[in-house]
C-alpha cells in the first residue's frame, strides 16, 4: 500500500483550497503580506506536489503597499467550472483591534498558468470567501461576517449571497445561514453538494491549538443547517501528543475513482516551546461518506501523519536545485518579496548578469518599500548561504542575510559601516519588537570586497557564520533562539488585548537597507538553501 506522509505542503502553506481538473490536482494557499499572491501547488497523485504558479503577480491585481504584518491575502478559494478557473481571495488592510478591513475579490483564467484577470470586487463584510457552483448554474459566495460591536460574537456567522456572472457582482439578498457551534470562531466556509444535501464545512475554535473542522447540512442552500452530531470531524485539540497540531480549515476533493480526501491546515510545534517556526502547513487525510450521509475521516477525528494514498500512479517531480546562481532573467519561483512586486527600481538580475542587485531602501519597520527577497523555511533543519558585494559608507547602509518572521521578529547578519573600523559585520535581532544587538562589537572587514554569509538552523537553534574565501566559515555571535521566528512568538497579548498577531512562517533571504536615502546597492552572487533531512 502506498502511503502519503504529512504534511504534503511543508512550511507556511495554510488555508488549503483543493480542486481536481481531470487528472490534475491543485491546492491554493494563503500568502498574507508576501508577494506574489497565492501559492498554487500541483499534483497528479495527491502524494507528490510542486509549487506551480502564483496567480496574483501584478500590482493592479494586488496592491499591498502599507498592509500590516499578517495582512494581505487570506484564505484563497480555488474552483473550476465550465472551462474556467475561479480564484476568490481577501486583501486584508487591517486586522488588529475591533475592526477588520477585509476586501474580497474574484479573478478568473482559462488556464491555471494564466493569464489571470483583473480583480472583480465582491464585498468587505468579512474574510474567508468561497464560491460554490450549484447544479442549476447559479453561483453563491459564502464568507464569515465580522461583527465589531461590543457584547456581540465577532465571528457573526456565515453569509450567503448570489454572484452574477453576467453582471460581475453580487446580487440579491444576503442570508446569514449558519451561526456556528459551541466551539465558536466560525470561519473558512465551503459548500459542497452530495446526494440531496448541501454540506457546509467550516473551521472553528480559532487557528491555534483549538482549531477544528465542523460540518453541517441542509436540503436547502439557505438552511436551516443540521449540525453533524459527531463534530468536530477533525481536530488535534484533545491530542497534544500528536505531531500535527492546529488541525482545521479544510476542503475536500474526490478522485476519478471516487476516493475522497480532505486537506487541512496544521502546525508542527517545536517542543517544549510549542512554537511553529514552519508556520501553518497543509496536510491530507483520507475521508468517506457514511451510510447516513455524514463526512468522516478514515483514521478517526485526528490528523494522521501517514495516510493511505489513492489508487493513482505515482508521479514524482524533480527536485529544485539547492543553489540559485541568478543566471536566469527571472527569480526562482520560491522567492518572495514583502508587499510589492519585483521591479527594476529596487531589484535587478540584468544590471550585472549572474548577480542579484538589491537597492537599499526602507528598514524592517516599514510596511511599504523594503528591499527583501526571501524564501520559506520548509524543514526544521537547514543551511542558507550567500555572498555579498557591498560598499557601505554609512552606518545607515546595510545588506546581508536575514532570518525573518515580521517587522517585530527577526535575526539579521549584515554588512555595514562603522566610523571607527570602517566596513564591518554586525548582528541585529528583534523579539516582539524589542531591538537587540547580540554581537557586542562589530567585526571589521575593511578592505574586503565580498563577504560570504551563512545561517545554520537546527530546530530551535540558529548560528550565523561568515567567510572571506567561501571555504573556511567562522561562527559569528552566539547561538540564537530560532523558535522566536514563529507565529506563536509573534502573538503578543497584553491585559487580554492582542497587540500583534502572526499567521505566516519563517523566511530566510537577502536584503538591503539604506536609511540615508542614497540608495546604496548590494550585489549577491548566489543563494543556497539546503535542507538537512
pLDDT at 439: 94
pTM metric for this prediction = 0.97
Give tens-digit pLDDT for 167-176: 999 999 999 9
Percent of the chain with pLDDT over 70: 100
Which residue shows C-alpha cell 555571535?
477
Q: Around 274, how many Cα atoms within 13 Å sit in the side-chain half-sphere?
A: 9
Q: Which residues contact 105 (CB under 8 A, 6 or more apart)?
A: 88, 89, 90, 91, 119, 120, 121, 122
Average pLDDT value for residue range 66-81: 98
- Residue 16's nearest CA partner among 281, 376, 335 is 281
For residue 457, the tally of other CB atoms under 10 A from its CB is 24
Which residue shows C-alpha cell 464545512?
201
Give tens-digit pLDDT for 102-156: 999 999 999 999 999 999 999 999 999 999 999 999 999 999 999 999 999 999 9
Instruction: Report CA dihedral (328, 334, 335, 341) to the nearest 10 degrees.
Output: 90
In CATH terms, 323-531 corresponds, of 2.60.120.200, 1.20.1260.10, 3.20.20.100, 3.30.465.10, to 2.60.120.200
Give tens-digit pLDDT for 210-242: 999 999 999 999 999 999 999 999 999 989 999
pLDDT at 405: 98
Q: Show me where the domains of the chain are located.
A: 3-308, 323-531
Superfamily (CATH) of domain 3-308: Glycosyl hydrolase domain; family 43 (2.115.10.20)
Q: How confident is the model at residue 533 (pLDDT cuts 50, 70, 90)?
A: confident
- Residue 227's nearest CA partner among 287, 265, 259, 186 is 186
Residue numbers annotated as active site? 15, 187
Q: Which residues contact 442 (CB under 8 A, 6 or more apart)?
A: 416, 418, 421, 424, 425, 426
Give strand ranges (E) for 206-279. 212-218, 226-227, 234-235, 245-254, 260-267
Q: Around 136, how many Cα atoms within 13 Å sit in the side-chain half-sphere?
A: 4
Amino acid at each position: 500500500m502506498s502511503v502519503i506522509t504529512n504534511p504534503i505542503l511543508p512550511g507556511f502553506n495554510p488555508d488549503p483550497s483543493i480542486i481536481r481538473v481531470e487528472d490534475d490536482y491543485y491546492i491554493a494557499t494563503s500568502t498574507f503580506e508576501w508577494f506574489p499572491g497565492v501559492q498554487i501547488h500541483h499534483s497528479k497523485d495527491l502524494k507528490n506536489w510542486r509549487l506551480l504558479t502564483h496567480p496574483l503577480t501584478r500590482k493592479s491585481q494586488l496592491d499591498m503597499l502599507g498592509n500590516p504584518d499578517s495582512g494581505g491575502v487570506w484564505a484563497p478559494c480555488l474552483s473550476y467550472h465550465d472551462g474556467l478557473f475561479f480564484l476568490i481571495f481577501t486583501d486584508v488592510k487591517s486586522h488588529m483591534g475591533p475592526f477588520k478591513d477585509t476586501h474580497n475579490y474574484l479573478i478568473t483564467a482559462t488556464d491555471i498558468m494564466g493569464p489571470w484577470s483583473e480583480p472583480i470586487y465582491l464585498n468587505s463584510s468579512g474574510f474567508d470567501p468561497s464560491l460554490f457552483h450549484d447544479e442549476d448554474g447559479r453561483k453563491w459566495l459564502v464568507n464569515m461576517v465580522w461583527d465589531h460591536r461590543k457584547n456581540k460574537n465577532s465571528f457573526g456567522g456565515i453569509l450567503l449571497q448570489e454572484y452574477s456572472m453576467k453582471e460581475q457582482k453580487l446580487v440579491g439578498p444576503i442570508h446569514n445561514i449558519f451561526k456556528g457551534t459551541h466551539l465558536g470562531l466560525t470561519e473558512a466556509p465551503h459548500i459542497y453538494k452530495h446526494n440531496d444535501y448541501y454540506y457546509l464545512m467550516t473551521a472553528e475554535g480559532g487557528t491555534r491549538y483549538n482549531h477544528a473542522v465542523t460540518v453541517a447540512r441542509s436540503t436547502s442552500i439557505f438552511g436551516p443547517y443540521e449540525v453533524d452530531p459527531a463534530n468536530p470531524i477533525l481536530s488535534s485539540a484533545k491530542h497534544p501528543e500528536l505531531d500535527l497540531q492546529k488541525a482545521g480549515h479544510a476542503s475536500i476533493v474526490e478522485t476519478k475513482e471516487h476516493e475522497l480526501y480532505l486537506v487541512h491546515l496544521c502546525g508542527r510545534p517545536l517542543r517544549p516551546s510549542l512554537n511553529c517556526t514552519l508556520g501553518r502547513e497543509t496536510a491530507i487525510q483520507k475521508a468517506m461518506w457514511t451510510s447516513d450521509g455524514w463526512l468522516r475521516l478514515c483514521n478517526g477525528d485526528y490528523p494522521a501523519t501517514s495516510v493511505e494514498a489513492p489508487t493513482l500512479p505515482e508521479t514524482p517531480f524533480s527536485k529544485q536545485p539547492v543553489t540559485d546562481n541568478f543566471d536566469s532573467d527571472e527569480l526562482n519561483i520560491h522567492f518572495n518579496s514583502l508587499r510589492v512586486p519585483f521591479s527594476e527600481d529596487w531589484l535587478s538580475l540584468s544590471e550585472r548578469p549572474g548577480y542579484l542587485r538589491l537597492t537599499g531602501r526602507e528598514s524592517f519597520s516599514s510596511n511599504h518599500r523594503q528591499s527583501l527577497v526571501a524564501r520559506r523555511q520548509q524543514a526544521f533543519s537547514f543551511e542558507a548561504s550567500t555572498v555579498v558585494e557591498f560598499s557601505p559608507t554609512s552606518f545607515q547602509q546595510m545588506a546581508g542575510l536575514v532570518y525573518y518572521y515580521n517587522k517585530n521578529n527577526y535575526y539579521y547578519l549584515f554588512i555595514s559601516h562603522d566610523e571607527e573600523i570602517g566596513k564591518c559585520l554586525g548582528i541585529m535581532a528583534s523579539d516582539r519588537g524589542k531591538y537587540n544587538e547580540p554581537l557586542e562589537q562589530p567585526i571589521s572587514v575593511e578592505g574586503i570586497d565580498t563577504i560570504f554569509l551563512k545561517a545554520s538552523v537546527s530546530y530551535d537553534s540558529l548560528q550565523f557564520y561568515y567567510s572571506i574565501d567561501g571555504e573556511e566559515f567562522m561562527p559569528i555571535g552566539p547561538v540564537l533562539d530560532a523558535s522566536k521566528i514563529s507565529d506563536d512568538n509573534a502573538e503578543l497579548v497584553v491585559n487580554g488585548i492582542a497587540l500583534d498577531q502572526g499567521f505566516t512562517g519563517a523566511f530566510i533571504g537577502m536584503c538591503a537597507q539604506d536609511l540615508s536615502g542614497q540608495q546604496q546597492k548590494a550585489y549577491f552572487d548566489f543563494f543556497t538553501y539546503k535542507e538537512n533531512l
